Amino acid sequence: MKYTLNSYWKVFWKFRSIHAMRTFEYRKNFFFWAVVATMWTLFNIFFYKILYQHTTTVGGWGEYQLYTLVGLYTMFDAIIWSVLSHSMKYYTRDIYSGEFSNLLTKPINTVFLIFTRYNNYNNLPRFVIGVGLTIWSLLQLGAAPTPLSLMLALLAIGLGLIWISAVWLCISTLAFYVEKLDNINEVFPALRRIYSYPASIYTNTLHLVLTTVIPLGLITTLPAETLHGHLSLTSFAWLLVSTLIAVVSAALFFRFSIKRYAGVAN
């Protein structure tokens, strides 16, 4: 039995409704994390306010330009902790427990199930705050992104999320080769601070590495610059190419690795 696109859509929203019910069951946690997200955002703004009292730019970025990047980083971070972190945690856990066999026998794409089965809505307020901070910073700058700039910025955000997902899948797939490597999913969250700052603060070789070899520096910088009206077609093209390479590599590595999965034969 092959699932149609409509079937995938229904399965996706079925998972979302299940986790929404769980969130409302423990709604005190939701409101607690909403307060935490608000306080953390205010702390970031307070920190940069103090910083900009002693300088006019950070890596060539003005105060409100940097707030655009902080807003985008907040949105990325909310998605990472709401979706990717949970998905990869249960992915590796299923490999070690032998439950991964159940996913392989489902009449639906396994990678789709890996990324959609689990999520957490506690970071939804943080995502909303990130959107609000981004819009507020653009208003303070007097920036009015054109429809094309807005579309390209959203595309850059999407490419960044796909790149992160593909690379994280590759990292977590190492669980097929190393037993009980429970901390493997802490690797990528530890790297996320790299794109919490403008790529321009990194210099020389490090800048080259973080914008080409491992384009973490472009994740938030590229959409922020696009919203400011400074689109770099070269950087955009490279992020697109890097994302395609990451997706193809992740797919090939995943297919090769499941052949080693002993649980399939159990």
Tens digits of per-residue pLDDT, 66-92?
999 999 999 999 999 888 988 999 999
Q: Please, which pLDDT band fits residue 2 given cuts at 50, 70 and 90?
A: low
Check residues 178 and 241 and name the one with the higher pLDDT. 241
Mean pLDDT of all residues in 165-187: 86
* pLDDT of 244: 97
Measured distance CA(174)–CA(188) in Å, rounded: 13
Q: 244 is written with which tokens?
A: 């395609």
* pLDDT of 151: 94
In this structure, are residues 78 and 127 in contact, taking their beta carbons and an 8 Å threshold?
yes
Helix axes 218-227, 147-173, angle to 10 degrees: 170
Mean pLDDT of all residues in 50-78: 92
* pLDDT of 152: 94
Q: Please, which pLDDT band fits residue 38 given cuts at 50, 70 and 90?
A: confident
User: Does pLDDT of 1 surpass 60?
Assistant: no
Mean pLDDT of the chain: 88
Mean pLDDT of all residues in 246-258: 95
In this structure, are residues 223 and 199 in contact, taking their beta carbons and an 8 Å threshold?
no
Phi, psi of 147 (to 5 degrees): -55, -35
Kindly provide the residue ranges of all beta strands, DSSP E only, lying in 98-160, ordered along the sequence: none
* pLDDT of 266: 47
Kindly provide the residue ranges of all beta strands, DSSP E only, lying in 157-265, ordered along the sequence: none
Measured distance CA(75)–CA(41) in Å, rounded: 11
Cα–Cα distances (Å) from 136 to 47, 61, 144, 216, 244, in that order, read: 17, 16, 12, 25, 33
User: Does pLDDT of 265 surpass 50?
Assistant: no
* pLDDT of 41: 85
Query: Quick one: what percent of the chain has pLDDT higher than 70?
Result: 97
Measured distance CA(12)–CA(115) in Å, rounded: 10
Cα–Cα distances (Å) from 174 to 88, 96, 149, 209, in that order, read: 12, 11, 38, 23
Mean pLDDT of all residues in 149-175: 94
Measured distance CA(191)–CA(171) in Å, rounded: 13
| pLDDT tens by residue, 3-29 | 678 888 888 888 888 888 877 777 787
* pLDDT of 22: 79
User: Does pLDDT of 262 surpass 60?
Assistant: no
